[in-house]
Amino acid sequence: MNIIKTFLPLSLVVFVLIVLTFSNEFSSFGAGIAKYSMAVGSAWFVDRFLVPEIRTHEILKENPIAYAIFLFANIICAGLCFANS
Q: How many CB atoms lie within 10 A of CB 40?
A: 15
What pTM does this model have?
0.61
Q: What is the pLDDT of residues 36-54, one digit of tens each?
A: 888 888 888 888 888 888 8
pLDDT of amino acid 41: 81
pLDDT band of 83, cuts 50, 70, 90: confident
For 72-76, the CB contacts below 8 A with 24+ separation are 74/40
| Tens-place pLDDT, residues 51-65 | 888 888 888 888 889
Alpha carbons 31 and 25: distance in angstroms, whole number? 12
CA distance 32 to 80: 9
Cα–Cα distance measured from residue 6 to residue 31, given in angstroms and rounded to the nearest whole number? 20
Count up the domains in the chain and report the number: 1
Q: What is the DSSP string of 34-59?
A: HHHHHHHHHHHHIIIIISTTS-HHHH
Q: Which domain holds residue 42?
A: 2-83
